[in-house]
Amino acid sequence: MAEPISGIAGSLSVGKLLTGIAGFFGGLSISFFWQPKKLHQHGKLAAGAIIGGISVAAAFALGGVVANQLGVNINEADTALGIGYCIGVLSVGVISLIANFFDKREGQDILQVAQELKGKKPVVRRKRK
């Protein structure tokens, strides 16, 4: 007969589950107002799956780390929901910024993008004959 899950493992999984659910709703709430333009090419269902996957995965993976850094208990429901929601919003925001950044610089050379990030004027290289 299988042994039941211990109290610590059970509460940890509930905290992670709540963090993931809240991350999903956090990502979903920001995606209503702000999405990368490239996601619109794949359709609404694919865009929702991508955004939901990113926000749930980020909240599930980073929830415990953030809770430890803040010194709070991730096993408390209100803490798990708050941290998960914030991580879900931030993860979709960061992914949107990165996607829009690469979309605007799609045809540029990697050296031009690197110089732009450093704040220098891009050097135009001449092709050798």
Per-residue confidence of the chain (129 residues) as pLDDT tens digits? 444 445 555 555 788 888 999 999 998 888 777 766 667 677 778 877 888 899 999 999 999 889 889 998 888 888 889 999 999 999 988 887 887 788 788 888 788 877 877 876 655 555 655
Q: Confirm whether 20 is domain-assigned.
A: yes
Q: Confirm whether 78 is domain-assigned.
A: yes
Domain count of the fold of the chain: 1
Q: Confirm whether 89 is domain-assigned.
A: yes
- What does each C-alpha distance from 83 to 17, 63, 90, 100 come to in angstroms? 12, 6, 11, 26
Q: Confirm whether 126 is domain-assigned.
A: no
Domain of residue 106 covers: 12-118
Torsion sign, CA atoms 68, 70, 76, 82:
negative
pTM surpassing 0.85? no
Q: Confirm whether 59 is domain-assigned.
A: yes
